[in-house]
Structure 1
Amino acid sequence: MRYEGVLTKMRTEIVDEVQYYLIWEKDFINFNQLIDKKISLNFLRYQCLNCGLEKKIYRQGFCFDCFTSIPQAGDWVIKPELSRAHLDEEDRDLEYEKKAQLQPHVVYLANSSDVKVGVTRRSQIPTRWIDQGAHEAIEIVEVPNRYLAGITEVALKDHVSDKTNWRKMLTNDILDLNLEEEREKLKQYIPEEAREYYLASNKETEIKFPVRKFPEKVKSLNLIKNPYYEGILKGIKGQYLIFDDGTVFNVRSNEGLVVELKVLV
C-alpha cells in the first residue's frame, strides 16, 4: 500500500483507546491498523499549509512569509495572555481574532510526564490532552475568552510546570496522581478576574493510548536530514509514531512536509 500527501496533525477520537487518523487530500489512514506492521516514510518536498506553495517550512507548517503575516500564527496563539480581541484591538486580523479568542477557553492540568498547566479552547477538549500524550487531565477554570485563560496560566506557571518532557512521556516514565487534589492546591493562585470560573466538581479524564511497546530510549526522526526511514510501528502517543528500534516521529512538528508512506509488511 502506498500513500502520498502533506502532513498535518493527526486527528483523534477516544473509544477504548485513542484512534489516530492521518487525513490526506483524497484519502485517510487509520494508524491504529498499522501497529505491528513495517512502514516507510520518504520526504519528498515542502508544501506550506497556508499558501500551498513549495516553500521551506518555517514553523507550524507555514513558510516564513505566511508565519509572519497570517492571524493563525500571531503571538497570542502561543502566548494567550497577549490576546487583545476582548479590547477590540487588532493584532493581524481582528475579525479572525475575535472568532478565535472570544470563545470559552479552559485552563487545565495534564499529566503526560509530570503535571503541567495549559490552555485550550473548550471545543478542543480532550483533543488537546491527547496531542500532549496526557494519560490523565482535569479542568481548572473555564473562562469566556483567551485572555483570561492566558493570565491564569501565567499565574499558575509559578507553581506548576507548563512544559511536557516528551522523552519521559514516550518511555512511559510517568506517575499517576490525584489531579483533583493538585487542582485544589492551585486554587489560591488563580487571578481574581478568573476565580469565579473555578471548576470545583469536574472529575479527571483518563486516556489510554495504542502503544504495544514503549522504548527504553528514544531518538527523534528528522526527515529533512534523513529523508527515508522504515521500521515496525509499535504505537502512537501524543502526536508521535513510536517504532520498534526506539525511533519516534512527531507528526505535528513536521506539518507541511509532503511524504510518501508505504506499508511494507
Structure 2
Amino acid sequence: MQYTGVLKKMNTELLDTVQYYLDMNTDFINVNQLLNKTIEMSFVTYECLSCGLEKEIYRQGFCRSCFFETPSAGDWIMRPELSKAHLGEEDRDLEYEKKVQLQPHIVYLANSSNVKVGVTRKTQVPTRWIDQGAHEAIEIVEVPNRYLAGITEVALKEHVADKTNWRKMLKNDIEDEDLTKWQERLKSFIPEEAKEYFIENNKETEIKFPVEQYPEKPKSLNIKKEGSYTGKLVGIKGQYFIFEDNTVFNVRANEGLVVNIKVKS
C-alpha cells in the first residue's frame, strides 16, 4: 500500500484506546492499523494549508506570507488573552475572529509529562488533550469567549505549568495525579471575571494511547533533512508516530509537507 498527500494534524476518536486517522487527500488511513508494520516515509514537496501553493512552509503548515496574513494564524491563537472580538476589535478578519473567539471555551488541566493548564474551544474537548498526549485531564472553567479563557490561563500558569515536556510524555515517564485536588487548589487564583464559570464536582477523563513500545531515548525525525526514513511503527501518542528504533515523528509539526507513505509489511 502506498499513499501520497499533504500532512495535516491527525484526526482522533476517543474510544477505549484512541483511534488515529490520517487524511491523505484521496485516502483516509486508520493509523492504528499500521502498528507493527514497517513504513517507508519520504518527503516530496510543500503545500501551504492556506493558499495551497507549492511554497516552503514557514510555521503551522503555512507559507511565510499566509502565516502573517491568514486570520487562523493570528497572535490570539497561541495567546488567547490577546483576543479582542468581544470588544468588536479586528486583528485580521473580525468576522472570522468572532466566529472562533465568541464561543464557549474550556480552561483545563491535563497530565501528559506533568500537570499543565491549557485553553481550548469546547468543541475541541477531548481532541486537544489527545493531541498533547495527556493520559488524564479535567475541565475546570467553561467561559463564553476566548478572552476570558486566556486571562484565566495567564493567572493559573503562575501556579502550574503551561508546557508539555514532549520527551517525557513520549517515554511515558509520568505519574498519575488527582486533578480534582489540583482544581480545588487553583480555584482561588481564577480571575474575578471568570470565577462564576468554575465547574464544580467535575471528574477526570482518562485516555489510553495505542502504544506497544515507548522510546527510551526519543530522537526526532526531520523528514525534510533526511529525505526518507524506514522503520517499524510501534506506537502513536499525542501527534507523534513512535518507531521501534526510538525515532519519533511529530505529524503536526510537519503540517504542509507533502509526503509519500509506503506500507512495506
Could you say which TM-score interval applies, normalised by the shorter chain?
A: over 0.9
Q: Which residue of 2 aligns with 1:119?
A: 119
- In structure 2, what residue type is equivalent to 1:138? I
1:166 paired to 2:166: yes
TM-score by length of structure 2 reads 1.00
Superposed counterparts of 1:158-197, under 5 Å: 158-197=158-197
| 1:27-38 equivalent positions in 2, closer than 5 A | 27-38=27-38
Matches within 5 A, 1:134-149: 134-149=134-149
Q: CA RMSD in A?
A: 0.4
**Take 2:15 and 2:104, find their aligned partners in 1: how far apart are those partners?**
25
User: Which residue in 2 is equivalent to 1:154?
Assistant: 154
Letter of the aligned partner of 2:73 in structure 1? A
Q: CA deviation at 1:27?
A: 1.1
SS, match of residue 211 in structure 1: coil
Deviations along 1:128-164, one digit per CA (max 9) or x if unpaired, are 0000000000011000000000000000010000000
Task: State the partner residue of 1:128.
Answer: 128
**Is 1:88 paired with 2:88?**
yes
CA-to-aligned-CA distance 1:62-103 (integer Å, 9 cap, x gap):
000000001000000000000000000000000000000000
Match of residue 60 from structure 1: 60
Q: When the two structures are aligned, how many residues end up with a matched partner?
A: 265
Write the distance in 1 (CA, Å) between the matches of 2:186 and 2:226: 44
Deviation at 1:224, TM superposition (A): 1.2
Distance in 2 separating the partners of 1:150 and 1:168? 26
Which blocks of at least 5 consecutive residues in structure 1 are unaligned? none
Which residue is equivalent to 2:232? Answer: 232
1:114 Cα deviation from its structure 2 partner: 0.3
Q: Is the aligned partner of 1:257 residue 2:257?
A: yes
Shift of 1:49: 0.4
Write the letter of the residue equivalent to 2:6: V
**Structure 2: 5+ residue stretches without partners:** none
Separation in 2 of the partners of 1:160 and 1:60? 26
Q: Which amino acid aligns with 2:24?
A: W
Q: Distance in 1 between matches of 2:225 and 2:144?
A: 43
With normalisation by structure 1, the TM-score equals 1.00
Rounded to whole Å, the distance in 2 between the matches of 1:227 and 1:200 is 51
Shift of 1:14: 1.1
Q: Secondary structure at the match of 2:159?
A: coil
Cα separation, 2, equivalents of 1:216 and 1:32: 21
3-state SS in 1 of match to 2:97 = helix
Give matches, 1:17-36, under 5 Å. 17-36=17-36
CA distance in 2, matches of 1:55, 1:12: 28
Show structure 1 runs of 4+ deviating over 6 A.
none
For residue 71 of structure 1, what is the amino acid of its counterpart?
P
Percentage of pairs with the same residue: 71
Supply the AA of the counterpart residue of 1:232.
K
Opposite residue 63 of structure 1, the aligned amino acid is C
- 1:98 partner letter: K
Instruction: Give the 3-state SS of the residue equivalent to 1:225 in structure 2.
Output: helix
What residue number does 1:45 align with?
45
